[in-house]
Amino acid sequence: MKMIHKIKYALLLLAVVMVSCEVESVDFEASNGEADFINFVAVGDSYTAGYTDGALGLRGQESSFPNIIAGQLTLVGSEGFKQPLVESEGSVSGDGTGYYTLQIVNGSLTPVPETGDMGILGEQVYDASAPIQNLGVPGAKVSHLLAPGYAALNPFFNRFASDPATSVLTDALAANPTFVSLWVGGNDVLAYALEGGEADEVTAPALFAGYYQTVASSIFTGDRKGVVANIPGIDALPYFNSIAYNALEIDQAAADQLNAGYADYNTASDMLGLDRIEFVAGANAFVMEDQDYPHPGKMRQIKAGEKVLLAASSGITDPAMGWGSMAPLGAEYVLDEGEVSAIKAATVEYNHIIGTFADDNDLAHVDLNALMLRASTTGILLDGNLYTSTFVSGGTFSLDGVHTTARGSAIIANAFIDAINKKYDANIPKVNINEFSTVVYP
C-alpha cells in the first residue's frame, strides 16, 4: 500500500515538473519598424540579378537574394516585387554559354557549361504598367549605373531598360521606391581579376568614391531608407582559391623528366643569376608566364600568395596540355603578387567608402566581406549545417566559383534582413535556408 502511495506521489511530482517546464508559446509579430517597404527596389550587379552557375536564367532569378527578401517583406507591407524574368527555360552568360552542370569527365566530376540560349538576350520584358524593381545588371560597375545608353553596351540591361537612352539609375528612381537595397562595386575589381589582370583595370578608388557617392546620394534622398552592402575580397571566392599555387603533385620520375625539359632554361638562369625552375617529388609550384621576369624565357614558378584562377583547371588536369608543368600557365590564368596587391588594396578602399556612406546617411549596412571570409576560414554554422567556400561541396558558392547557390543567396538575404531589422527596429522574419538548393550532383 505504501508503494502505491509512493508511485502516486511520484507521478504527481512528475506532472508538476512537466507543467512548470512547459515552453511558453510566443507568437511572432512581423513589423516594418521605422521603414516603409511598400515598394522595395534592388539595385546592383550580377549578385542582385540572380546570376548563378555561370549564367542568368529563371532558376537563379527566382532565388536571387532580393527576391528572397521581397518574399519576407510581404509580411511587413510590400506590395510585390517585379523582376525581369527570363521567358525561356534556358540560361545564358555574356559569352553565350549556359549554366554549368556537374558531369563526369575522364572519371572526375567537372563543371561543364550547357549551350546558352542566346534568345534571352534579345528579349524585351519592360512593361510600363509594372516597372522593374530588380535592377541587377550582370557585369555592371558603379559608373555603368550612371551611364545613359548603357543598354546598348550591356544586353542584360537592354532586356528590361525602359528606353535605349536610359540609365540604370534613372529606371531605379522611376520605379518610385520607398526602400532600396544597393549592392554594387564588385565588378570594379572583378572585371580585372577574372582576366588574371590582363584585361580591363581596377577602378581607381578616387573615381569609385565619386561614382558611388553620385549613385547612392541620388537613391537615398529625403527620408528614403535602405540598405547597402560592401563587396567580398578575392580571398573569399573559390574562383581564386580552389587551385593552390603548389598543387602539382608528381613522383621522382616525373620530376626528373620535367627538370630535363627545363635544362636549357636553368642553364641560362644560372648564367643570369636568376631563380631556376626545379621540380621535386611531391608538391611543386606551377610554372607561369611572366613578361616582366628578366629571363629570356619570360616564365618562372609561382610564388606563395599568387593565385591560380579556376579557369586554368581544365588545362592543368589534361595530360596533353600539361599547363603549369610541361607548358607555363598563361598570365591570364594567374594573379601575380602585384595584381593581388592592387585588387586587395582597392577592395579595402571601396568597402571603406561604402561603410562611410552608410554611417553618414544612417543606412543599414551589411558586411558581406566579413560574412564570405567566414565561409572561407571557419565556415558558417547555420541550422546544423556548416557552409564554406569550398568549391562544389561547400554549399555556399555555385559552379562558377564567384556567385552563390540558391542557399548561399538565402544566407545573404538573411544577412540583409538582420541589418535591416537592427537599423530600423523592424521585425522581418528570416527564411529557412534549408528550403533552398545547393550544387546539384549527377
Would the pLDDT of 411 be above 60? yes
Of 105 and 197, more confident: 197
Would the pLDDT of 12 be above 60? no
Same domain, 289 and 163: no
Same domain, 70 and 166: yes
The last residue of a domain, from among 313, 335, 357: 335
Average pLDDT over residues 404-429: 98
Which pLDDT score, from 0 to 100, does residue 435 have? 95
Same domain, 138 and 287: no
Of 25 and 428, more confident: 428
Average pLDDT over residues 251-274: 97
Which stretch of DSSP H or E encloses residue 258? Answer: helix 252-261
Same domain, 229 and 84: yes
Mean pLDDT, the chain, rounded, equals: 93
Would the pLDDT of 1 be above 80? no
Q: How far apart are the first and last CA of the chain?
A: 67
Beta-carbon contacts of 440 under 8 Å, excluding residues fewer than 6 positions away, are 101, 102
Same domain, 370 and 293: no
Average pLDDT over residues 86-106: 94
Type of residue found at 206:
A
In a domain, 257, yes or no: yes
What are the angstrom distances between the C-alpha of 124 and each of 52, 86, 119, 133, 164? 21, 10, 10, 15, 11
Q: Which domain holds residue 410?
A: 40-234+337-435
Would the pLDDT of 308 be above 50? yes
Average pLDDT over residues 33-54: 98
The last residue of a domain, from among 279, 307, 335: 335
The last residue of a domain, from among 335, 352, 376: 335
Same domain, 180 and 319: no
Same domain, 152 and 277: no
Cα(108)–Cα(313) distance, integer angstroms: 12
Which stretch of DSSP H or E encloses residue 287? Answer: strand 287-289
Beta-carbon contacts of 368 under 8 Å, excluding residues fewer than 6 positions away, are 183, 229, 230, 231, 232, 412, 415
Q: Of 266, 259, 267, 146, nearest to 208 (Cα)?
A: 146
Type of residue found at 120:
I
Same domain, 346 and 228: yes
Which stretch of DSSP H or E encloses residue 65? Answer: helix 65-73
Which pLDDT score, from 0 to 100, does residue 107 have? 78
Can you tell me whether residue 355 is helix, strand or coil?
Answer: helix
Which pLDDT score, from 0 to 100, does residue 27 have? 64
Task: Please report the DSSP string for 124-180 in residue order.
Answer: ----TTS---EEE-TT--TGGGG-TTGGGT-HHHHTT-SSTT--HHHHHHHT--SEE
Would the pLDDT of 14 be above 50? no
Count the domains in the chain: 2
In a domain, 406, yes or no: yes
Would the pLDDT of 200 be above 50? yes
Contacts 24+ apart (CB under 8 A), 257-264: 258/325, 258/326, 261/326
Same domain, 54 and 191: yes
Confidence of residue 28 (pLDDT cuts 50, 70, 90): confident
Same domain, 81 and 91: yes
Q: What is the CATH number of the domain that holds 414?
A: 3.40.50.1110
Confidence of residue 310 (pLDDT cuts 50, 70, 90): very high
pTM tops 0.85: yes
Would the pLDDT of 208 be above 50? yes
Cα(396)–Cα(184) distance, integer angstroms: 20
Beta-carbon contacts of 385 under 8 Å, excluding residues fewer than 6 positions away, are 395, 434
Same domain, 324 and 402: no
Cα(302)–Cα(265) distance, integer angstroms: 16
Same domain, 324 and 341: no
Cα(409)–Cα(421) distance, integer angstroms: 18
Which pLDDT score, from 0 to 100, does residue 106 have? 75
In a domain, 442, yes or no: no
